Amino acid sequence: MSVDVAWAIDWVRRSAQTISEHRDELVELDRQIGDGDHGENLDRGFRAVVAKLDALEEPPAEIGDVLKLVATTLMSTVGGAAGPLYGTAYLRAAKVTGAAELDSAGVVALLEAALEGIVARGKATTGEKTMVDAWSPAAEAAVAAADAGGSPADVLAAAAKAAAVGAESTVPLAATKGRASYLGERSVGHLDPGARSSELLLADAAAAAAA
Protein backbone atom coordinates (compact mmCIF):
# COMPACT_ATOMS: atom_id res chain seq x y z
CA MET A 1 0.00 0.00 0.00
CA SER A 2 1.24 3.47 -0.83
CA VAL A 3 0.19 7.00 -1.71
CA ASP A 4 1.44 8.57 -4.91
CA VAL A 5 1.74 11.83 -6.83
CA ALA A 6 -1.94 11.70 -7.75
CA TRP A 7 -2.72 11.57 -4.03
CA ALA A 8 -0.54 14.62 -3.37
CA ILE A 9 -2.26 16.58 -6.12
CA ASP A 10 -5.69 15.50 -4.86
CA TRP A 11 -4.67 16.60 -1.37
CA VAL A 12 -3.75 20.05 -2.66
CA ARG A 13 -6.97 20.45 -4.60
CA ARG A 14 -9.07 19.28 -1.68
CA SER A 15 -7.18 21.68 0.58
CA ALA A 16 -7.94 24.62 -1.70
CA GLN A 17 -11.63 23.72 -1.74
CA THR A 18 -11.80 23.20 2.03
CA ILE A 19 -9.98 26.43 2.85
CA SER A 20 -12.34 28.28 0.51
CA GLU A 21 -15.35 26.74 2.23
CA HIS A 22 -14.00 27.56 5.70
CA ARG A 23 -12.55 30.95 4.80
CA ASP A 24 -15.06 32.95 6.81
CA GLU A 25 -14.74 30.65 9.81
CA LEU A 26 -10.96 31.05 9.82
CA VAL A 27 -11.29 34.80 9.41
CA GLU A 28 -13.60 34.99 12.41
CA LEU A 29 -11.40 32.76 14.56
CA ASP A 30 -8.41 34.96 13.72
CA ARG A 31 -10.41 38.12 14.34
CA GLN A 32 -11.03 36.96 17.90
CA ILE A 33 -7.37 36.54 18.85
CA GLY A 34 -5.35 37.79 15.87
CA ASP A 35 -5.56 40.25 13.01
CA GLY A 36 -8.40 38.52 11.16
CA ASP A 37 -6.62 37.65 7.92
CA HIS A 38 -5.83 33.95 8.34
CA GLY A 39 -8.71 32.66 6.25
CA GLU A 40 -8.32 35.26 3.53
CA ASN A 41 -4.57 34.73 3.27
CA LEU A 42 -4.76 30.95 3.11
CA ASP A 43 -7.60 31.05 0.60
CA ARG A 44 -5.58 33.32 -1.67
CA GLY A 45 -2.52 31.13 -1.26
CA PHE A 46 -4.19 27.85 -2.12
CA ARG A 47 -6.01 29.40 -5.06
CA ALA A 48 -2.60 30.41 -6.37
CA VAL A 49 -1.28 26.88 -5.79
CA VAL A 50 -4.10 25.35 -7.83
CA ALA A 51 -3.54 27.89 -10.60
CA LYS A 52 0.12 26.90 -10.77
CA LEU A 53 -0.78 23.21 -10.80
CA ASP A 54 -3.19 23.80 -13.65
CA ALA A 55 -0.52 25.67 -15.60
CA LEU A 56 2.06 22.88 -15.46
CA GLU A 57 2.90 21.45 -18.89
CA GLU A 58 3.81 18.08 -17.39
CA PRO A 59 2.59 16.45 -14.17
CA PRO A 60 5.04 16.40 -11.26
CA ALA A 61 7.24 13.30 -11.15
CA GLU A 62 7.56 13.11 -7.39
CA ILE A 63 5.43 13.89 -4.36
CA GLY A 64 8.13 16.29 -3.22
CA ASP A 65 7.65 18.30 -6.43
CA VAL A 66 4.02 18.89 -5.52
CA LEU A 67 4.83 19.88 -1.95
CA LYS A 68 7.64 22.21 -3.06
CA LEU A 69 5.23 23.97 -5.40
CA VAL A 70 2.84 24.44 -2.49
CA ALA A 71 5.66 25.73 -0.29
CA THR A 72 7.06 28.29 -2.68
CA THR A 73 3.61 29.54 -3.68
CA LEU A 74 2.40 29.98 -0.12
CA MET A 75 5.61 31.76 0.85
CA SER A 76 5.20 34.23 -1.99
CA THR A 77 1.46 34.85 -1.76
CA VAL A 78 0.39 34.41 1.87
CA GLY A 79 0.98 37.24 4.30
CA GLY A 80 1.19 37.22 8.07
CA ALA A 81 2.62 34.26 9.94
CA ALA A 82 0.79 31.60 7.97
CA GLY A 83 2.85 31.95 4.80
CA PRO A 84 6.26 31.37 6.37
CA LEU A 85 4.96 28.69 8.75
CA TYR A 86 3.05 26.62 6.22
CA GLY A 87 5.64 27.35 3.55
CA THR A 88 8.39 25.96 5.74
CA ALA A 89 6.24 22.96 6.67
CA TYR A 90 5.61 21.99 3.06
CA LEU A 91 9.21 22.73 2.08
CA ARG A 92 10.62 20.48 4.81
CA ALA A 93 8.11 17.81 3.81
CA ALA A 94 9.16 18.14 0.16
CA LYS A 95 12.76 17.39 1.08
CA VAL A 96 11.88 13.96 2.48
CA THR A 97 9.40 12.96 -0.24
CA GLY A 98 11.56 12.75 -3.34
CA ALA A 99 9.73 9.70 -4.62
CA ALA A 100 6.74 8.85 -6.78
CA GLU A 101 5.17 6.84 -3.95
CA LEU A 102 5.29 6.76 -0.17
CA ASP A 103 4.71 3.84 2.16
CA SER A 104 3.56 4.31 5.76
CA ALA A 105 7.07 5.19 6.96
CA GLY A 106 7.30 7.76 4.19
CA VAL A 107 4.04 9.37 5.29
CA VAL A 108 5.35 9.55 8.85
CA ALA A 109 8.53 11.20 7.58
CA LEU A 110 6.44 13.76 5.68
CA LEU A 111 4.40 14.67 8.75
CA GLU A 112 7.39 14.78 11.08
CA ALA A 113 9.34 16.98 8.68
CA ALA A 114 6.40 19.37 8.37
CA LEU A 115 6.11 19.60 12.15
CA GLU A 116 9.85 20.22 12.47
CA GLY A 117 9.55 23.03 9.96
CA ILE A 118 6.73 24.70 11.88
CA VAL A 119 8.58 24.36 15.18
CA ALA A 120 11.80 25.72 13.71
CA ARG A 121 10.10 28.67 12.06
CA GLY A 122 7.69 29.55 14.85
CA LYS A 123 9.89 28.65 17.82
CA ALA A 124 6.80 27.10 19.39
CA THR A 125 6.04 23.95 21.32
CA THR A 126 2.85 22.24 22.45
CA GLY A 127 0.64 24.03 24.94
CA GLU A 128 1.26 27.52 23.52
CA LYS A 129 -1.98 27.75 21.51
CA THR A 130 -0.51 27.44 18.02
CA MET A 131 -0.74 25.07 15.05
CA VAL A 132 1.89 22.94 16.80
CA ASP A 133 -0.88 21.78 19.11
CA ALA A 134 -2.51 20.12 16.08
CA TRP A 135 0.61 18.95 14.24
CA SER A 136 2.47 17.42 17.19
CA PRO A 137 -0.23 14.92 18.21
CA ALA A 138 -0.85 14.24 14.51
CA ALA A 139 2.77 13.20 14.02
CA GLU A 140 2.73 11.10 17.19
CA ALA A 141 -0.45 9.33 16.11
CA ALA A 142 1.05 8.70 12.68
CA VAL A 143 4.07 7.00 14.23
CA ALA A 144 1.84 4.81 16.39
CA ALA A 145 -0.35 3.83 13.43
CA ALA A 146 2.65 2.97 11.26
CA ASP A 147 4.27 0.97 14.06
CA ALA A 148 1.03 -0.98 14.38
CA GLY A 149 1.25 -1.96 10.72
CA GLY A 150 -1.24 0.55 9.38
CA SER A 151 -1.39 1.50 5.70
CA PRO A 152 -0.59 5.05 4.56
CA ALA A 153 -4.33 5.75 4.59
CA ASP A 154 -4.54 4.43 8.15
CA VAL A 155 -1.58 6.59 9.18
CA LEU A 156 -3.14 9.71 7.70
CA ALA A 157 -6.54 8.94 9.23
CA ALA A 158 -4.92 8.60 12.66
CA ALA A 159 -3.02 11.83 12.15
CA ALA A 160 -6.15 13.70 11.10
CA LYS A 161 -8.11 12.43 14.09
CA ALA A 162 -5.35 13.45 16.49
CA ALA A 163 -5.05 16.86 14.83
CA ALA A 164 -8.75 17.49 15.43
CA VAL A 165 -8.38 16.66 19.12
CA GLY A 166 -5.23 18.75 19.30
CA ALA A 167 -6.89 21.75 17.69
CA GLU A 168 -9.78 21.57 20.14
CA SER A 169 -7.29 21.44 23.01
CA THR A 170 -6.23 25.01 22.18
CA VAL A 171 -9.56 26.45 23.34
CA PRO A 172 -8.77 26.56 27.09
CA LEU A 173 -5.14 27.60 26.56
CA ALA A 174 -3.70 31.08 27.00
CA ALA A 175 -1.61 32.03 23.98
CA THR A 176 2.09 32.60 24.62
CA LYS A 177 3.27 32.85 21.03
CA GLY A 178 2.37 35.09 18.11
CA ARG A 179 -0.09 37.94 17.93
CA ALA A 180 -2.58 36.14 20.17
CA SER A 181 -0.05 36.27 23.02
CA TYR A 182 -0.69 40.02 23.31
CA LEU A 183 -4.14 39.15 24.66
CA GLY A 184 -2.78 36.98 27.46
CA GLU A 185 -5.62 35.43 29.46
CA ARG A 186 -8.18 37.02 27.14
CA SER A 187 -7.16 34.47 24.49
CA VAL A 188 -8.58 31.70 26.69
CA GLY A 189 -11.81 30.23 25.34
CA HIS A 190 -10.94 30.69 21.67
CA LEU A 191 -9.91 28.06 19.11
CA ASP A 192 -6.54 28.82 17.57
CA PRO A 193 -7.05 29.56 13.84
CA GLY A 194 -3.74 27.99 12.82
CA ALA A 195 -4.57 24.79 14.67
CA ARG A 196 -7.99 24.76 13.02
CA SER A 197 -6.58 25.22 9.50
CA SER A 198 -4.00 22.52 10.24
CA GLU A 199 -6.80 20.19 11.28
CA LEU A 200 -8.60 20.88 8.00
CA LEU A 201 -5.51 20.32 5.84
CA LEU A 202 -4.64 17.03 7.53
CA ALA A 203 -8.22 15.86 7.19
CA ASP A 204 -7.92 16.50 3.45
CA ALA A 205 -4.70 14.46 3.30
CA ALA A 206 -6.56 11.56 4.89
CA ALA A 207 -9.59 11.98 2.66
CA ALA A 208 -7.43 11.96 -0.47
CA ALA A 209 -5.74 8.74 0.68
CA ALA A 210 -9.09 7.10 1.39
CA ALA A 211 -10.62 8.11 -1.97
Per the confidence metrics, is the pTM higher than 0.75?
Answer: yes
Q: What is the pLDDT of residue 81?
A: 83
pLDDT of residue 68 exceeding 90, the answer is yes
DSSP state of 61: S
Percent of the chain surpassing pLDDT 70: 95
Q: What is the pLDDT of residue 183?
A: 65
What is the architecture, at CATH level 2, of domain 3-210? Alpha Horseshoe (1.25)
What mean pLDDT is reported for the chain? Answer: 94
Nearest to 136 by CA among 116, 155, 122, 156: 116
Q: What is the pLDDT of residue 60?
A: 97
Spell out the residues 6+ positions from residue 6 whose beta carbon is closer than 8 angstroms to its own: none
- Other Cβ atoms within 10 Å of 210 Cβ, number: 11
DSSP state of 175: P
